[in-house]
Amino acid sequence: MALGLALLLAACGGGKKPPGPPPPAVTVIKALQKEVTDWDDYTGRLAAVDEVDVRAQVSGYLESIHFKDGQMVKKGDLLFVIDPRPYQAVFDRAAAQQKEAEAGLALADANLKRTEELATKKVVASQDLDDQRSKQLGAAAALQVAQAEVKAAQLNLDFTRITAPVSGRINRHVVSEGNLISGGAATATLLTTIVSLDPIYAYFEADEQAYMKYVRLDKSGERRSSRDVANPVRLALADEEGYPHQGRMNFVENRIDVDTATIQGRAVFDNPDFILIPGQFVRLQLLGSSPHQAVLIPDEAVVSDQSQKFVWIVNAENKAEYRKVKPGPLNDGLRVMSEGLKPNERVIVLGLQNVRPGIAVEAKEEPIQNFVAGAAGNTTAPVSTDAKKKSASGQ
């Protein structure tokens, strides 16, 4: 009987359900509302405003080189000298022929003048006067030919001294002294190249959606087109935090590329310290909107589900709620939410792995400033207050 009573009591006690697990702990922030200006992110490549292949305009032996490989040069600086002696001889001969033509014209002028005086006295026939006029015209034409030959010879002589066509940084010399080089044609010998550095261009591509966004903003008057105004652009190199280089738009291509479905834009930047060089990949931010009110949250609160973006919020009943959002650009380390969130809604930033729709949660609120990235482009996730305390205690 005692054993039966014990079993009965055990069975009755086993009918009670054990207490459930506590609600998962999560960290939340309040969605921030403030006035922002959107900056659209792009990657681009730097290019020189002026890039020149230095080639000879006359043929001959390269006599001397007057620069150090890789140095900065100014427009007009002497770079190469081609042996000028053959061209000097041609010039001297042309100059002598010009003097001969000048003498011939002087004689023709004198003969014409005498013949005209005799013609007024009816001493010579009119045919003789016509002959002298013809000879005078021929002598004048011969002088013009001789003068043109002198100019051509002078040009060729000048071309033996090759100067920098633009200011910038010069490349190495491709041809050494003593080599025979060809000039004056499309196949002329390449001697070196020069690229200008200040200012410098940055080229980038925007897709069709971005292009149409800018068109709509221009039509509504919210943001002028970069075709019409020099909208600001910010630039950063790979090792730079933030966007320290300030530039402006100065060109947008007139068509969308059918292969890439993108349209090319170009910004120009001052580069007085020459830190930017052609060919570098850079990060760019183009002004994307006029100032407007926006809702912002930390980037790590946004979850991706294939092509869909969403966040978890904690409602007034302390239950998790799934919310679709449309993220915009980063602004001062926070992500702009174009759609889906209201100001001051509580958004979960830590503990997302334990959240399910409709479950109750234990929400601990922290200031949104604890989750702001230190600088634009910083890929290190911000650390919450709890995480900092744990790290300090060795946990």
Query: Which pLDDT value is given to residue 382?
Result: 41
Q: Which of 137-146, 196-205, 324-333 has the highest mean pLDDT?
A: 196-205
Considering only CA atoms, which of 316, 369, 302 is closest in space to residue 346? 316
| One domain, residues 326 and 282 | no
CB 269 within 8 A of CB 202: yes
Indicate the average pLDDT of the chain. 86
Q: Are residues 313 and 264 in the same domain?
A: no
Total number of domains in the chain? 3
Q: Which pLDDT does position 237 carry in this prediction?
A: 94
The predicted structure's pLDDT at residue 391: 35
Q: Read off the DSSP letter of residue 263.
A: E
Within a domain: residue 359? yes
Give a yes or no: residue 8 inside a domain.
no
- Domain assignment of residue 33, given as a range: 25-37+292-376
- What CATH number does the domain containing 125 carry? 1.10.287.470
pLDDT tens across 51-75, in order?
999 999 999 999 999 999 999 999 9
For the segment 324-345, the average pLDDT, to the nearest whole number, is 86
User: pLDDT per residue over 336-369, tens digit each?
Assistant: 888 888 999 999 899 888 888 888 888 899 998 8
The reply to whether 3 falls in a domain is: no
User: Could you give the 3-state DSSP secondary structure of residue 215?
Assistant: helix
- On whether both 146 and 211 belong to a single domain, the answer is no
The pLDDT of residue 388 = 40
Interval 206-222 mean pLDDT: 92
Question: In degrees, to the nearest 5, what angle opens at C-alpha 360 toward C-alphas 357 and 362?
Answer: 125
Q: Is the pLDDT of residue 3 over 70?
A: no
Look at residue 383 in the predicted model and tell me its pLDDT: 41
Confidence of residue 116 (pLDDT cuts 50, 70, 90): confident
Global confidence as pTM: 0.71
Report the C-alpha gap between 206 and 153 in whole angstroms: 52
The DSSP H or E segment spanning 159 is helix 126-159
Is residue 261 assigned to a domain? yes
CATH number of the domain to which 239 belongs: 2.40.30.170
At 231 the pLDDT is 94
Least confident segment among 175-179, 227-231, 289-293: 289-293
pLDDT of res. 15: 52
- 14: in domain: no
Structure tokens at 10: 């055990």
Would you say residue 137 lies in a domain?
yes
Q: State the Cα–Cα distance between residues 135 and 108, nearest whole angstrom.
A: 6
User: Which H or E run contains 214?
Assistant: helix 208-220
